[in-house]
Structure 1
Amino acid sequence: MTTDTSETATPSSQTSDCSSGSETWEPAASLSQTTQEPAASPEPTAAATTSKAAEHSRTTTTGQATLASEGSTDQTGTDELTLATDQPDVTELADQINSFIAENVSQGELSLAYVDLDSEQSYMLNATESYKAASTIKVPMSMYCYDQAFKGELDLNMTLTYDQAEDYEATGGLMSGAADGQTATLQTLLHSAILYSDNIATNMIFRYWRQTSESLSYRMDQAFDMHYSEDSEMNVEEACRLLERLYENPDDNPYYDVLLTDMKNSDWNRYLTAELSVSVAHKYGLFDGNQHDVTLVYTPHPYILIVYSRNLSGAEQILPQLGLLVYNWQTETRG
């Protein structure tokens, strides 16, 4: 995979912490009038473990893929294939994806990342193209907080206070309809940010870190080799590395299991997951023409599929079809 090498901003240059964006969705049930605590998170255990991912002999080839962008101008970007010698050739999947895009994408921009988590074979299209992260930023936000809690440097039971002037944003979830001055624990806010894409909860968490020596944007960039602090943007390569870390859990952090459970129980079932009937841990993003989904799909041979898009005509039809295309290939070739 290609790592973004652009410089991250220093803490003093931060002008904006969070751009999660207003998102349209319907929660399964209204929880807006309560701050009742969710089930208790497990107590962390110390000591790091080695990565769970198996090592494979691999070769890498590169090629070109062309997308139709807004105004019918072609956008040509590199795609990258990572092959394992003991697995079905992922070039077949890449060909199917590229053919689907050529036939169905008439306007807009799209980036994609696929990784088979058993073989580590991967395919990436326009991997370093940046997009407004929208609510996909809530995954690294949660991972960073849970990493600090695991190290004993952050108390998930600490209480944060809602400041309507600072934190309000159209949203659903636990903090929807909250009164100014209402309180909730950090753990409750993290749950709501993932389960219901709660923007107020997210803004409260970002504001907490803004009051420390370094903003959360800067901290995430440093911890996860991202470039979010530059312009509230991410790319699919960064998102893919985050999901790989979350799945592999190299430090054996029990809070990662909490996050994955919340992602599996997310109330949003559109985009890449709409046509799937298997367990999926995912987080969508929707903001100002950007429509994204980052997914970890639990087939017998689990895989990551991530799509970021901008001004993509027919996105709510295209993304579910892409999700089903990759699922069918994965289950038919991997078993």
Structure 2
Amino acid sequence: MRRAAAALLAILTLFLPVLADGEASARGPEDFVAEIMEGGYGFSEANYAVGFMSLYDGETWFHNADEYFKVASVYKLPLNMYFYELENAGELAPDDIVGGVSLEQAHLFSLEFSNNEISERMLDYLGGYAQYKRDILKYIGNAAEDVTDEYYYDNAFTAEMVLNILSYLNAHSDEFEEQLEHMLAAQPDQYLKSGALGVPIAQKYGYERYDGVLHVAVAGIVYAEEPFLLTILTRGSYAAVDAMGELCDAFAEWEAGRAAALRAEAEALE
């Protein structure tokens, strides 16, 4: 038994990130998130939220999970999902006119180019912003149990809500193939794609000033070696655009090592 335990420990050590001096490191998001956001880009602890989910085993990690943040154009992520579901149900067709253009064009302009005018007309088609927020409650999962007036009447979500939206999108990806194609094409080399990872990322991004304060937000499915979901919501600095890429890279490295260690552990116990 001792030999088996020692062998398992040796295997797991192989998958830990290694520092320059050769010592194994178990650094996780509780270390690198603050290092990047606060140490590298000057955000205060209260001015950003992060939500991560592994697509290997469903592991989640949050910073400020339940705090409401203005999300700018990220609201267009569930907005388009809802319209695609109306199409899938036969209630709308791609060539139907919504907001002065075909629905097919509306998806393109809303998701890839983040066109505000067309997206706002899509909201109007549903009956306005508060009705839209009611329509998408199923996407935010358990977080729907704790929504406040801020949810219904402001362009605000929590990191938990956005991560649940991404989880729904990924779990039903066969129903949202066109939406994912638009998100894969959106903003090359920016936001989650601004790092060095170089893998496909389906993202919805946004930035906008509210009462003079800049809010930058992103939500995406990262198709790395070990795929994962990631949302980052910020206020106060456009530098968030670069921080998002660094965080994405760091989560990818951590998740690759974590998943490999879990696989090695499972194999060693067989």
Does the TM-score normalized on the shorter chain lie above 0.5? yes
CA contact 2:52–2:60 (8 Å) conserved in 1:
yes
* 1:273 corresponds to: 193
Which structure 1 residue ranges, 5 or more long, are not aligned? 1-86, 163-183
Alignment pair present for 1:185 and 2:102? yes
Distance 1:151 1:301 in 2: 33
Structure-2 change in CA distance of 1:299 and 1:219 (3 Å): same
Do the aligned partners of residues 271 and 160 (structure 1) sit closer, same or farther apart at CA in structure 2, a change above 3 Å counting?
Answer: closer
Q: C-alpha displacement at 1:229, in angstroms? A: 2.0
Q: What per-residue deviation string (whole Å, max 9, x for no partner) do you get for residues 242-293 of structure 1? A: 11111111xxx74411111111111353122211310111111101110111
Residue 88 of structure 2 aligns to which amino acid in structure 1? Answer: F
The answer to whether structure 1 residue 95 and structure 2 residue 24 are counterparts is no
Residue in structure 2 matched with residue 262 of structure 1 by the alignment:
182
Tell me which amino acid in the other structure corresponds to 2:251: V
- 1:118 Cα deviation after fit: 1.2
Match of 2:167 in 1: 244
What TM-score do you get using the length of structure 2 for normalisation? 0.73
SS in 2 for 1:155: coil
Give the aligned partner of residue 209 of structure 1: 126
In 2, distance between residues paired with 1:300 and 1:329?
A: 11
Residues 104, 152 of structure 1: alpha-carbon distance in 2 compared, 3 angstrom cutoff: same
Which letter does structure 2 place at the counterpart of 1:294? A
1:134–1:90 distance in 2 versus 1, CA, 3 Å: farther
Letter aligned with residue 282 of structure 1:
Q
Q: Distance in 1 between the 2:164 and 2:235 partners?
A: 21
Q: Verify: 1:150 aligned to 2:88, yes or no.
A: yes
In 2, Cα distance between the equivalents of 1:325 and 1:246? 23
Question: Cα gap change, 1:160/1:145 in structure 2, threshold over 3 Å: closer, same or farther?
Answer: closer
Q: Could you tell me which of 257, 264, 286 is aligned with 2:207?
A: 286
| Residue among 40, 46, 55 paired with 1:117 | 55
Per-residue deviation at 1:200?
1.8
| Higher-helix-fraction structure | 2
Code of the aligned partner of 1:327: A
Q: Is the 8 A contact 1:113 1:307 kept in 2?
A: yes
Question: What TM-score, normalized to structure 1?
Answer: 0.60
**How far apart, CA to CA, are the structure 2 residues paired with 1:148 and 1:161?**
16
* Alpha-carbon distance, 1:94 to partner: 2.7
Q: Does 1:235 align with 2:158?
A: yes
The 2-side partners of 1:122 and 1:90 are apart by 17
1:322 alignment partner in structure 2: 247
Unpaired segments of 5 or more residues in structure 2? 1-14, 17-24, 261-270
Q: Which residue of 2 aligns with 1:195?
A: 112
For 1:218, which of 116, 120, 134 is the aligned residue? 134
Q: Distance in 1 between matches of 2:245 and 2:187?
A: 16
| Number of equivalences | 223
Partner SS state of residue 215, structure 1: helix
User: What is the root-mean-square deviation in Å for CA atoms of aligned residues?
Assistant: 2.6
For residues 160 and 272 of structure 1, what CA distance do their matches in structure 2 show?
30
Q: Which of the residues 48, 68, 71 maps onto 1:133?
A: 71
Match of 2:234 among 309, 321, 328: 309
- Give deviations 1:72-119, integer Å, cap 9, x for gaps: xxxxxxxxxxxxxxx989972332223334422434501001111111
